[in-house]
Amino acid sequence: MTQQHILHDCKRGEERILQRGEVRCISADEEDDCCLRVASADDFDIRVVSGAQQGCNCTRKCEDLGQNYECVERYLCDNTGGSVDIYNAKDQCYRNVGNIDLADKTCPNHLTCCRKAKEPRTKCVDTEPSSGCGRISGVNGPGIIDSDLSGKVLEDYAAQIGEFPHMCLFYSKRGSFEEFRGGASLIGRNIVLTTATKLYYMKSDKTLDIRNEALGVRCGVLNVKNNEANLPDPQDRTVTDVVIHPEYNPTLLTHNIAILIVKDPFNYVNHISPVCLPSPSDSFTGSRECYSSGWGADKYDSPVYSDFLKKVKLPVVDSTSCSRTVNQNVERFSNNPSKTFVVYDDWMCVGGEGIADTCRGDGGSPHVCKVNNKWVQVGAVAFGFGCGEVGIPSIYSAVAPEMCWIDWVMSCQAVMPKIGELEIASIDGFDVRQASNCRSDVVVQSVNSLSSRDCGEWLRARPKLYCQCEVNYN
């Protein structure tokens, strides 16, 4: 229960507080003593509240904690010779280390209240990691805790710094404002993957179309609202090309996948690096070590969106049982209960075992599974049936069935400046024989090292793509 302060019904100099469900009056001296005992210091003499007793009012100002205390970034805190060394002797710089307590309101923007070091200090700059895609390990820096919750609860829902270095978001630029649009994943230096519905979507009563708006992508962000001082800096890039799958159906939501190409490449650092991609034939049904991440809401009908990046562990469910489950409950979710729900080949079912789920605002965000100790993106959040409906899986866009198209875009985008202007059209109008009537002047290697067995037939069956750019498969 959160403590409450009511400034009446007590003697002068006392405050009335709600402590462990009971109302009592305490003097200012008693309250100060309580806070001084629980506002412990770590090895850098940083005041933390993680050990606070229930009922203590420690929401004081930083300067009240002692002389020379200031709200600064952690690397500027005076090192008192503790077991953790924030000094990097090789690079002669200092790092932000220790925990950031979300419940500590002593300083704004999660700055740290401490005695500031007297000597000037240089902050360490992350260098590019060498471990390639799908990195599991986190960044060498502060961790996220919440002393209002148990460590286990926080571990279950809060993403740590660098835990998902592929996680990005994209937004519309409206004057001086940036309007959050959806989640995305970094799959290449200048390429992010999302769902087409976040860019172009048709319903009976409205149409969403932001393909021609000024868009930006931000990667390496933990707090979507603020650039926290103690957190690694995110990177922003301007979108130059919006590429929606040419077979995307904006009403049926099949082939619901899209790529955003940005002007300048992202710099790979500890907390920003690409996710691994699957092979077209890969199946992840039954995989359980899988996570979705995003800044979405907890409830569908009254959404309150998260500022901090959250994660949820969700298994991949087989499509047959998923379809059967949804059809058994179709009356709850559809205005046309006689309609049969079909799980298309380019969809995948995720979750449904409990109340854990993705929700509004999570659309486009990646679903990754741990494969050979690397994160592999298996899906992207598409739609669901409410949020957290027990026993009802959500529907994600599957990545593996779309890998030939994803690889075609990644392989051809560097040599085709107009790649995003392909029309959205059904494959029904394609004639395989047309592929033999043209020979593209552009021939490139598959950047994902896909084989002709994987994608050769797929590309030849799509002359509109084949005639523009031919991919040489292994």
DSSP string, 319-348: HHHHHHHHHHTHHHH-S-TTSPP---TTEE
Q: d(Cα 414, Cα 230) in Å, to the nearest integer? A: 36
Side-chain half-sphere of 154: how many Cα atoms within 13 Å? 17
Beta strand pairing status for 374-383 and 394-398? antiparallel
Interval 161-183 mean pLDDT: 90
Q: What is the pLDDT of residue 205?
A: 76
pTM: 0.82
Interval 142-157 mean pLDDT: 73
Q: d(Cα 400, Cα 282) in Å, to the nearest integer? A: 6
What are the residue ranges spanned by the domains of the chain?
Answer: 5-115, 419-472
Condensed to tens digits (0 to 9), the pLDDT of residues 117-127 reads 888 999 988 88
Q: d(Cα 117, Cα 222) in Å, to the nearest integer? A: 27
Q: Which of 89-93, 152-156, 352-356 has the lowest mean pLDDT?
A: 152-156
Beta-carbon contacts of 153 under 8 Å, excluding residues fewer than 6 positions away, are none
**CA-wise closest residue to 224 among 294, 275, 175:** 294
pLDDT cut 70: percent of the chain above it: 75
Per the CB < 8 A criterion, the answer to whether 247 and 255 are in contact is yes
Interval 15-43 mean pLDDT: 39
Q: d(Cα 211, Cα 434) in Å, to the nearest integer? A: 29
The helix or strand, by DSSP H or E, that contains position 465, with its residue range, turns out to be helix 463-466
Interval 171-190 mean pLDDT: 90
Q: Which is more confidently placed, 24 or 343?
A: 343
Interval 215-223 mean pLDDT: 94
Under the banding of pLDDT at 50, 70 and 90, the label for residue 46 is very low
Beta-carbon contacts of 80 under 8 Å, excluding residues fewer than 6 positions away, are 43, 44, 45
Phi, psi for residue 69 in degrees, rounded to 5: -85, 135
Under the banding of pLDDT at 50, 70 and 90, the label for residue 18 is very low
The helix or strand, by DSSP H or E, that contains position 155, with its residue range, turns out to be helix 151-157
Q: d(Cα 407, Cα 469) in Å, to the nearest integer? A: 12
Q: d(Cα 113, Cα 43) in Å, to the nearest integer? A: 13
Q: d(Cα 9, Cα 6) in Å, to the nearest integer? A: 8
Q: d(Cα 338, Cα 335) in Å, to the nearest integer? A: 9
Q: Is the pLDDT of residue 310 over 80?
A: yes
Which tokens hold the place of 18? 């709600």
